Chains A and B, each alone.
Chain A
Amino acid sequence: MIYFCAALFLEARPFIERYQLQKTSALKNMQIFQGPAASLIISGAGPTRAAAAVAHLLTLISPEHCPGNNLGHLFVNVGLAGSIVFPQGEIVLCHKLTNTFTGYDFYPEIPFGHGFREGALGSFGHSIRAESLPYDLADMEGAFVFEAAEFFLPLHQIVCLKVVSDQFAPRDVSAETAAAVMRRAADPIAAWIDRETARLDGAANRFFFSPEELEAMERVRQNLFLTRAMCLALEKACQKAKSREENILSVLAEAAGSGRGGKNASKPIYARLMRQLSPTQK
């Protein structure tokens, strides 16, 4: 699942279109769009809205309850930012984010081979107009979004991508220009996101047990009337035995085949199975 968080509709629109997202619910000033592969929330600007939006999205569509594995998700804060270091239209991956209220710095994990320029982002609670700032970029939500997302996902699954719209003078840029800048940047950003999520999915889906082994474990569970705790212990024992390159399939099949005599009769079979899988000396 790809999670998007953008402050404004014009920042979100190219991704809503590209991932064919449908509006599913609306809080006041906070719209949510969903599709099979992505979810998006429009937070509004400022720290409170950013934090509330991230918490709302990641609770409503919890990574833990999405299909597949928690490892395959990517959270992307995407939006416009001001900069006097980078030209208009440049896509910048933020490698340092500063919450200018608290002064705390946040350091995302940098994805390998992303191909974008990199910079440090300062996040402010209000629109700023300045000649210079001690940051490469300035916006009104990046660091706040990151700080909130950290509560829900591992570091390497959170990225902040900014598209430069102005030179620290956001009011000088029309909505049409900003939308055009965002539209142009959306394709390379989406292409990278698709590559990155495919890579994360690939890493997440390297299952340890074969389908036959999972099926055999399920048969044991049913035939021996295992409780949840017994199932977990069995899975762990199978994991250790398989890591020792032992053939767990035959042991499981034997236990499943001999366990159809009721709960009491299956207890010694379960005990024998666990002994076979977890010998004290190996």
Chain B
Amino acid sequence: MFFSHIYVEREAAEYATARAILPRFSQSVPISISHYKDVFCRRGQNFTRQKRRPQLILAVKREDYFHRGSRMCDGFGQDNFIYTTQIMNCPFDCAYCYLRGLYGSANVVIFVNPEDTLQAVANSLPAFICVSYDTDLLAFEALTGYVRRWLAFCAARPEAVVEIRTKSAAFHSIAGFDALPNVQLAWTVSPDSVIERFERGTPGLNARLADMRRALEKGWRVRLCVDPIIKTRGWEQDYRAAAQTIRAALPMERLLGVSVGCFRVSKTHYARMEKLEPFSEIFGYTMEERDGTIGYPDEAEMIAMTRAWLTGGAL
């Protein structure tokens, strides 16, 4: 991970997290700023261009420590489903990522006061908390240590259930911690053909499955997410083969759950994403709108087929 420039809010520079991060990028040019939005929300930014060489912004989170879960996300039946944003953007570059439609900038913002978020969440328990939605928290663990903070938080508060979703192969960074019953580790997986074409910078399928296996062996509750399914030419063969690989690599009966979903985003985000990469195959298929969400017209069949392949059932 390299950032040629690091924008540091004057207030953020005083925090321990910032003081720990900055020396690790001694080659980077530090630039003092008043507020992260002065950089992150500039007009005229090009997300795809920035994504090739993102910069880092260190900021203080002053409000909105958590949000109510989106109806587009699976809350797994939990009443108080919330998510937190301690980091904005992600080290990976997935062509279908909704962050491309959500943010105008691909620069990474790390909020250096995670303790304030933890305190705000502590006041809202019991809750199901997704902590890795607008980023990949585990992929940043070596830099921030935020997952470890959530583990300590959960160890002391059984009424908090935390989901840490990742595409990384960075389980080693928390492998020294004991498994917690109220922490769910969720890996999003895709066929290698999708990873190579649309998930730039992410580990391959086998590396993710190896991490999942290690986590299961250590007693962690692990969820498998084949979400989103990306339609490409011959997607059926790719996902069927990936399902076979998954079933061979994992003891499926020991998984906490398997969630399957198709590529879908809000109408506004879809339009922005398509504008960024109009020639991508991601946007080459017929989509339809349902209640403000854009998705494949045949997503129910796609999900059913993928589920059947994952369970080994014939369709």
- Residues in chain A within 8 A of chain B (CB atoms): 95-96, 105, 107, 109-110, 112, 118, 120, 150, 153-156, 208, 239-245, 278-282
The digit string for B166-189, where 1 denotes a CB below 8 A from any CB of A, is 000000000000000000000000
Nearest-Cβ distance from residue B27 to partner chain A, whole angstroms = 13
In angstroms, Cα B31 to Cα A105, docked, is: 12
The contact of B280 among A96, A109, A243, A279, by CB within 8 Å, is A243
Max chain B C-beta neighbours (<10 A), residue from A105, A109, A112? A109
Number of interface residues of B (CB under 8 A): 31
Nearest-Cβ distance from residue A219 to partner chain B, whole angstroms = 22
The digit string for B25-59, where 1 denotes a CB below 8 A from any CB of A, is 00001011110001100111110011001010000
Q: Using Cβ atoms and an 8 Å threshold, which residues of chain B touch A241? A: 284
In angstroms, Cα B72 to Cα A218, docked, is: 42
- If over half of B's interface residues share one DSSP class (helix, strand or loop), that class is named, otherwise mixed; here it is loop
Verify if B219 is at the interface (C-beta below 8 Å from A).
no
Contact A239 to B298, CB < 8 A, known contacts A105-B33, A107-B39, A112-B53: no
The contact of B297 among A112, A154, A155, A281, by CB within 8 Å, is A281
- If over half of A's interface residues share one DSSP class (helix, strand or loop), that class is named, otherwise mixed; here it is loop
Q: B33 and A118: CB pair below 8 A?
A: no
In angstroms, Cα B44 to Cα A107, docked, is: 11
In angstroms, Cα B233 to Cα A170, docked, is: 65
Nearest-Cβ distance from residue A118 to partner chain B, whole angstroms = 6
Nearest-Cβ distance from residue B313 to partner chain A, whole angstroms = 23
Nearest-Cβ distance from residue B200 to partner chain A, whole angstroms = 17
| 5 A-B interface contacts by CB (under 8 A) | A96-B32, A109-B50, A118-B29, A242-B279, A282-B286
Q: A107 and B7: CB pair below 8 A?
A: yes
Q: Using Cβ atoms and an 8 Å threshold, which residues of chain A touch B233? A: 244-245
Nearest-Cβ distance from residue B43 to partner chain A, whole angstroms = 7
Nearest-Cβ distance from residue B30 to partner chain A, whole angstroms = 10
Verify if B65 is at the interface (C-beta below 8 Å from A).
no
Verify if B283 is at the interface (C-beta below 8 Å from A).
yes
Nearest-Cβ distance from residue A251 to partner chain B, whole angstroms = 15
Q: Using Cβ atoms and an 8 Å threshold, which residues of chain A touch B44? A: 150, 153-155
Q: Using Cβ atoms and an 8 Å threshold, which residues of chain B touch A109? A: 45, 49-50
Verify if B281 is at the interface (C-beta below 8 Å from A).
yes
Nearest-Cβ distance from residue B13 to partner chain A, whole angstroms = 15
Contact A105 to B38, CB < 8 A, known contacts A95-B31, A281-B286: yes
Verify if B5 is at the interface (C-beta below 8 Å from A).
yes
Q: A243 and B7: CB pair below 8 A?
A: no
Q: Using Cβ atoms and an 8 Å threshold, which residues of chain A touch B278? A: 239
In angstroms, Cα B283 to Cα A243, docked, is: 8
Q: Using Cβ atoms and an 8 Å threshold, which residues of chain B touch A243? A: 279-281, 283-284
State the 3 A-B residue pairs at the shortest beta-carbon distance, nearest first.
A243-B284, A244-B284, A155-B44
Contact A208 to B42, CB < 8 A, known contacts A118-B29, A281-B298: no
In angstroms, Cα B285 to Cα A281, docked, is: 8
Verify if B231 is at the interface (C-beta below 8 Å from A).
yes
Q: A110 and B38: CB pair below 8 A?
A: no
The contact of A110 among B4, B43, B279, by CB within 8 Å, is B4
Q: A154 and B46: CB pair below 8 A?
A: yes
In the complex, given contacts A241-B284, A278-B286, what are 10 additional A-B residue pairs having Cβ atoms less than 8 angstroms apart? A105-B33, A107-B31, A110-B4, A110-B5, A120-B31, A150-B43, A155-B43, A240-B284, A243-B279, A282-B285
Contact A105 to B34, CB < 8 A, known contacts A279-B286, A281-B298: yes
B residues 1-19 in Cβ contact with A at 8 Å: 4-5, 7
Q: A95 and B286: CB pair below 8 A?
A: no
Q: A96 and B31: CB pair below 8 A?
A: yes
Nearest-Cβ distance from residue B123 to partner chain A, whole angstroms = 35
In angstroms, Cα B55 to Cα A109, docked, is: 10
Contact A154 to B45, CB < 8 A, known contacts A95-B31, A107-B33, A208-B279: yes
Q: Using Cβ atoms and an 8 Å threshold, which residues of chain A touch B34? A: 105
In angstroms, Cα B45 to Cα A32, docked, is: 29
In angstroms, Cα B38 to Cα A96, docked, is: 11
Which single residue of chain B is at the shortest CB-CB distance from A113?
B4
Nearest-Cβ distance from residue B108 to partner chain A, whole angstroms = 15
Nearest-Cβ distance from residue B239 to partner chain A, whole angstroms = 15
Q: Using Cβ atoms and an 8 Å threshold, which residues of chain B touch A282? A: 231, 285-286
Nearest-Cβ distance from residue B263 to partner chain A, whole angstroms = 14
Nearest-Cβ distance from residue B273 to partner chain A, whole angstroms = 13
Q: Using Cβ atoms and an 8 Å threshold, which residues of chain A touch B45? A: 109, 154-155
Q: B298 and A156: CB pair below 8 A?
A: no
Q: A107 and B38: CB pair below 8 A?
A: yes
Q: Using Cβ atoms and an 8 Å threshold, which residues of chain A touch B286? A: 278-282
Q: A107 and B279: CB pair below 8 A?
A: no
